[in-house]
Chain A
Amino acid sequence: GQNIDQPTEMTATEGAIVQINCTYQTSGFNGLFWYQQHAGEAPTFLSYNVLDGLEEKGRFSSFLSRSKGYSYLLLKELQMKDSASYLCAVRDLKTGGSYIPTFGRGTSLIVHP
């Protein structure tokens, strides 16, 4: 099975930088995803890491260390619209060949002026 931990809630100021951490325990690791979910909406894909290192995509970056079972999502130049829940999801090879990820409970980010 998998165990995924991320903080429940974080607050930050508009224009600042925030780092959301995710730790996991799994066997047969096959990738880590970050999703953003605004209240009342479906999750949307942000990033995917399968190798160690930093993946940068605009204001968002995601880092992975497989040996430490650790990832973080870095959000720069925060905007009010970044207030949302951020979900960390880990994928491993499951019985039957499935590659469906397991999601953490999400981190609710509140950006204030």
Chain B
Amino acid sequence: KAGVTQTPRYLIKTRGQQVTLSCSPISGHRSVSWYQQTPGQGLQFLFEYFSETQRNKGNFPGRFSGRQFSNSRSEMNVSTLELGDSALYLCASSLAGPKSSNEQFFGPGTRLTVL
């Protein structure tokens, strides 16, 4: 079974630009979550999508948005990039439900650098 894939793996942008990151979950997984990871901050939750609907959202500004398609693939978009947006963006997929461990499987991440 293929794992979670993310594209691109590395990205360099300049302030003010926008960026779109893509995530393909494990086949059969309907929940896709996005996290931002920076040194010393740990994994900061951005949002979760389930069946094409945003089900949960973290404390990030509206510049961060996302969507999920009918095949469960997800994209996240960051507009008007700031230097502080430089981070590793991780996508995780899970079966999503209350009665099992429902561990999250993480993709390799997209390393975004904003200059």
Interface residues of A (CB under 8 A from B): 30-31, 33, 41-45, 48, 50, 87, 89, 93-106
Contacts and interface: CB of A to CB of B under 8 A. Distances in A.
9 contacts: A33-B101, A33-B103, A43-B106, A44-B106, A96-B55, A98-B96, A100-B104, A101-B104, A103-B35
Contacts of B109: 42
B105 interface: yes
A103 B42 contact: yes
Contact of B101 (A31, A105, A106): A31
Given A103-B43, A105-B40, A105-B41, A98 B55 contact: yes
B107 A42 contact: yes
A83 B109 CA distance: 20
A86 B102 CA distance: 19
Interface residues of chain A: helix, strand, loop or mixed (majority): loop
Given A45-B103, A96-B55, 20 more contacts: A33-B101, A41-B108, A42-B106, A42-B108, A42-B109, A43-B90, A43-B106, A45-B104, A45-B105, A87-B42, A96-B56, A98-B50, A98-B56, A99-B102, A100-B56, A103-B42, A103-B43, A104-B42, A105-B41, A105-B42
Interface residues of B, number: 25
B33 interface: yes
B28 interface: no
Query: 3 closest Cβ contacts across the A-B interface?
Result: A105-B42, A42-B106, A98-B56
Contacts of A42: 90, 106-109
B97 interface: yes
Nearest to A48: B101
B98 interface: yes
Nearest to A49: B101
Nearest to B47: A100
Contacts of B55: 96-98
Interface in B73-115: 90, 96-98, 101-109
A44 B108 CA distance: 10
